[in-house]
């Protein structure tokens, strides 16, 4: 079966969004709206794989929604909703729990990182997390998934699950009229641009992340002008001036990170940035980078704050998106039930 191109992605409503989310995911989501049918999901079911205070979770769901709308996500054009309102995600995830193998999940590096040393005490949900992510995507037969580099392994697992489902149920799938036996597509990761992996400002070998204790390590979308300037000024660098060519960034992770951030924010490439700043010191580059950050992020933070003044309106956006999402996912889930051999009334 030839599947029509459809984009799906999700973000967790935990902590505040940072520059890594913005450059690794948001910018691409917004861009893809121009060319594709897009479904964007606030993954609240994923969030509770680690403890969330209920009142804070509710707030975080609205905040993430507001941030995406402020950044340019148009809820009229694209579908924007929160996962728990569309039960197809959880239902399909259960089927996938029975398709995926323990051995596959045991290889997931994000689980190992998040569970840490006390693995026995991690929730079962944290372990099964990638199966739910596969269900998110495949409940819509999405073909393209824009994410940051850290999600690549989870995407590969989603592809494996799609393939195993197609193989395991080859016969009923053909009987249902899928002549080529393909029920689920193989979703493609969309991991492109100069900043697919934004690194910590304090350590160029670690990912910028909301779980990093030092707030100096990241730029939050809600940071004011002064903190952005301060964080960039304090960002770790090396003593050399910037090179004129990208090869000169090798083994200079902090320099490479800042150049990548600049390129992504400016909508250009690393070579373009280096042809402008090659030979210059960080003392010249950093103020330019700070200014660009403020210029791009400032208006988003302002607009997100404005939207948060009307939480009922955000809830309405999510309810409307959920209804549209349900319309797409329900017929696919019903077919899954038939394929698997369930009876439905
Ligand atoms: P999360 O906040 O973990 O739900 O991530 C939301 C999106 O942001 C996912 O597509 C991630 O891959 C992306 N992302 C998170 N951190 C980074 C980072 N440091 N660099 C690039 N992309 C990131
Ligand atoms: N696991 C993703 C993250 O942490 C979020 C996510 C959940 C997602 N479901 C998804 C991303 C489906 C893309 C597609 O960033």
Q: Three-state SS string across 146-198, please?
A: ECCHHHHHHHHHHHHHHHHHHHHCHHHHHHCCCCCCCCCCCCEEECCCCCCCC
- Residue 87, SS3? coil
Same domain, 142 and 223: no
Answer for the pair 264, 27: CB distance below 8 angstroms, yes or no.
yes
Give me the CATH number covering residue 156.
3.40.50.620
Confidence of residue 16 (pLDDT cuts 50, 70, 90): confident
**21, 64, 65, 156: which to mutate for ligand 1, most atoms within 8 A of CB?**
21
Same domain, 15 and 140: yes
Same domain, 20 and 118: yes
Confidence of residue 2 (pLDDT cuts 50, 70, 90): confident
Answer yes or no: is the C-beta of 20 below 6 A from any ligand 1 atom: yes
Domain count, the chain: 2
Tokens of 262: 């600049």
Distance 117 CA to ligand 1 centre (A): 23
The atom number, within ligand 2, closest to the CA of 25 reads 15
- Which ligand lies nearest the alpha carbon of 210? 1
Q: Which domain holds residue 296?
A: 215-306
Same domain, 28 and 157: yes
pLDDT tens digit sequence for 242-287: 999 999 999 999 999 999 999 999 999 999 999 999 999 999 999 9
Same domain, 300 and 322: no
> Could you say which of 114, 230, 236, 286 is catalytic?
114
Same domain, 119 and 230: no
Same domain, 170 and 256: no
Residues β-bridged to residue 81:
41
Specify the length of the chain in residues.
Answer: 345
Same domain, 274 and 315: no
* Distance separating alpha carbons of residues 128 and 130, to the nearest angstrom: 6
The atom number, within ligand 1, closest to the CA of 150 reads 12
Predicted pLDDT of residue 246: 95
Q: Which of 240, 261, 140, 248 is nearest to 195 (CA)?
A: 261
Same domain, 163 and 290: no
> Residue 180, Cα to own-chain centre: how many angstroms?
32
* Distance separating alpha carbons of residues 70 and 62, to the nearest angstrom: 12
* Distance separating alpha carbons of residues 258 and 292, to the nearest angstrom: 12
Q: Which helix (H) or strand (E) holds 8?
A: strand 6-11
Q: How far is CA 23 from CA 30, 102, 147, 196, 314, in A?
A: 11, 33, 10, 7, 24
Distance 11 CA to ligand 2 centre (A): 6
34 pLDDT more than 90? yes
Q: Is the dihedral of CA 123, 124, 129, 135 positive or negative?
A: negative
* Distance separating alpha carbons of residues 269 and 193, to the nearest angstrom: 8
Q: Considering the entire predicted model, what is its pTM?
A: 0.93
Distance 107 CA to ligand 2 centre (A): 17
* Whether residue 234 lies in the annotated active site: no
- Which ligand lies nearest the alpha carbon of 158? 2
Domain assignment present for 345: no
Same domain, 325 and 298: no
Answer yes or no: is the C-beta of 12 below 6 A from any ligand 1 atom: yes
What is the helix, strand, coil percentage profile of the chain, to 5? 60, 10, 35
15 pLDDT more than 80? no
Answer yes or no: is the C-beta of 151 below 6 A from any ligand 2 atom: yes
Domain assignment present for 43: yes
Same domain, 316 and 290: no
Domain assignment present for 154: yes
288 pLDDT more than 80? yes
Distance 147 CA to ligand 1 centre (A): 7
Q: Which residue has the higher pLDDT, 63 or 1?
A: 63
Q: What mean pLDDT do residues 195-199 have?
A: 93
pLDDT tens digit sequence for 128-180: 999 999 999 999 999 999 998 999 999 999 999 999 999 999 999 999 999 99
Give me the CATH number covering residue 263.
1.10.240.10
Predicted pLDDT of residue 1: 64
- Which ligand lies nearest the alpha carbon of 144? 2
**20, 60, 90, 136: which to mutate for ligand 2, most atoms within 8 A of CB?**
136
pLDDT tens digit sequence for 64-77: 999 999 999 999 99
Same domain, 181 and 317: yes
The atom number, within ligand 2, closest to the CA of 150 reads 15
């Amino acid at each position: 079966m030839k599947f029509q191109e459809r984009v799906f992605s999700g973000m967790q409503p935990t902590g505040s969004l940072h520059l890594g989310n913005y450059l690794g995911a948001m910018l691409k989501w917004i861009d893809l709206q121009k060319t594709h049918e897009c479904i964007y999901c606030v993954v609240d079911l994923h969030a509770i794989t680690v403890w969330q205070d209920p009142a804070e979770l509710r707030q975080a769901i609205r905040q993430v929604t507001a941030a995406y709308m402020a950044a340019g996500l148009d809820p009229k054009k694209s579908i924007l909703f929160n996962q728990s309102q569309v039960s197809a995600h959880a239902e399909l995830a259960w089927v996938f729990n029975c398709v995926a193998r323990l051995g596959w999940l045991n290889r997931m590096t994000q689980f190992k990182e998040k569970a840490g040393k006390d693995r026995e005490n991690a929730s079962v949900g944290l372990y099964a997390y990638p199966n739910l992510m596969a269900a998110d995507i495949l409940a819509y037969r999405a073909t393209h998934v824009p994410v940051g580099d850290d999600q690549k392994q989870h995407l590969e697992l989603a592809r494996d699950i799609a393939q195993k489902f197609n193989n395991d149920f080859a016969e009923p799938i053909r009987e249902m009229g899928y002549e080529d036996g393909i029920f689920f597509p193989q979703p493609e990761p969309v991991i492109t641009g100069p900043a697919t992996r934004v690194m910590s400002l304090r350590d160029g070998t670690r990912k910028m992340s909301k779980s990093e204790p030092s707030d100096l390590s990241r730029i939050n979308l809600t940071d004011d002008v002064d903190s952005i300037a301060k964080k960039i000024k304090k960002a770790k660098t090396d003593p050399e001036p910037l090179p004129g060519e990208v090869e000169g960034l090798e083994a200079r992770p902090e320099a490479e990170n800042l150049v990548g951030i600049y390129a992504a924010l400016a909508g250009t490439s690393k070579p373009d940035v280096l042809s402008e700043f090659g030979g210059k010191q960080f003392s010249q580059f950093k103020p330019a980078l700070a200014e660009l950050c403020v210029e791009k992020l400032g208006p988003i933070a302002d607009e997100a704050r404005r939207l948060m003044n009307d939480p009922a309106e955000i809830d309405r956006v999510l309810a409307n998106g959920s209804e549209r999402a349900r319309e797409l996912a329900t017929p696919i889930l019903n077919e899954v039930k038939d394929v698997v051999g369930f009876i439905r009334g």
